[in-house]
Amino acid sequence: MKPLIGTDLKRFLRDYKRQHRPAVDLAALLQSVEYPANVGSIFRVADGAGMTELVLTGITPTPPNATIEKVGRYKSLRIPWRYEADPVTAVQDLKARGYQVVAVELADTAVPYHQFTYSPKTCLVVGHEDHGVTKATLAACDAAVFLPMYGKGLSLNVHVALSIVVYHILHQAPQK
């Protein structure tokens, strides 16, 4: 076994994508994700997962931003994104466009992320690193999912939590 680099790596990933394209339209809404490093990481995850859109709201920093670009490896130039000041307005717009809007949040009606049935057109909502998704935004969402925590920590970093749920959805979705 040897690691793939250069042209071999590009061919490997290209061939895999052709054979395993999930039939799902994924977007994400960042509700006041404050730290540019997290935003950059989410742009990178969005690119890796083939997400269709990122919606940045509230106090979420937007490109161009040196930290977002460095951490995200300039994926903000590849992933469609937009800014909407009010996250509730953004949720309403996404619903009007046919998205099921699901908060990744510890909430009283949240279910474990791996037990939820996601729509083929899903937008995941993540919130501020310390405060999470606001009550108003949560109320506008269709549902909430959470990641079970088995250690002493109560949550994971926002981009890590989003990544886990995104890749779970991709791998449970039917193939095109």
Q: Are 49 and 78 in contact (CB under 8 A)?
A: no
What's the confidence (pLDDT) of residue 20?
87
For the ranges 68-72, 75-79, 161-165, 170-174, which has the lowest average pLDDT? 170-174
Question: Domain map of the chain by residue range?
Answer: 23-172
Residue 164 reports pLDDT greater than 90: yes
Rg (CA), the chain: 16
- Output the CATH code of domain 23-172: 3.40.1280.10
What is the rounded distance in angstroms from the CA atom of residue 57 to the CA atom of residue 53?
Answer: 13
Under DSSP, the state recorded for 115 is G
- Tens of pLDDT, residue by residue over 32-48, are 999 999 999 999 999 99
